[in-house]
Structure 1
Amino acid sequence: MKTHLLPLLLATSLLTPTITAIAVPSDTCASTVIQEERKLSPEEEKARGLDVMANQIVENIEEIDLRKVARSPIFETSYGFRWKMFNVKTGHFYTIKVNKNFALISVRDSKNNPL
């Protein structure tokens, strides 16, 4: 049984059709909002000064204990920026969202409750 399984899988993978990309007119793409996130590099964070602004935002939130906190990379989203914080001492996660002007939008804990 085991000796026949591998050739069978190879044969079915060769016979199945492949998916090809279809060109979509640009006017239909313009009407939809793309919800992609792009991870910023550490060099880009420093060039924009996002690291300093992220620290200033987190310092103003009283619920987050800054001792032994790790920050994820900053992601650029359609509405602004997003990153996560993890308190190594307590084990709590926080998701922080800010707009393009770095005004605080929301802070949520690991259970998706707003702070």
Structure 2
Amino acid sequence: MEKTYLTKKAVALTGLSVDTIRFYERKGLIEKVARDKNGYRQYSQQDIEWLKIIGYLRTLGVSIPEMQQFIHEHGNVESSYQQRLIFMENYQQIVGERIAKLTDIQQQLVIKVQLLKRMGNKL
């Protein structure tokens, strides 16, 4: 039997809020979540992993409509392997570009902070 998680644990595992998870459910970004006999949501490990990916994509700026379109167009696992791979590779490249840009900004900030500290020592 597959391990499942209640909403509170799903929140802890994904870093998403309850409201965010429910919003993603309403928007169709995750499949209908199973419920136990008391009506409590039961998130599968696959649900948890997908919620994490959705969170990462949102952090990258992928819009809800873009994700909905991706899921709609590429919902069939076997027929969409290549499209999903391309989609993920594109965002992998975007992450690399952002990291490079942030690294450059960080280096510039280090230089500016050092300069300001030297100036402060002279006052």
Task: Give TM-score scaled by structure 1 length.
Answer: 0.24
- Which of the pair has the greater relative contact order for Cα pairs under 8 Å at 6+ separation? 2
Structure number having the greater helix percentage: 2
TM-score by length of 2: 0.23
Bigger radius of gyration among the two: 1
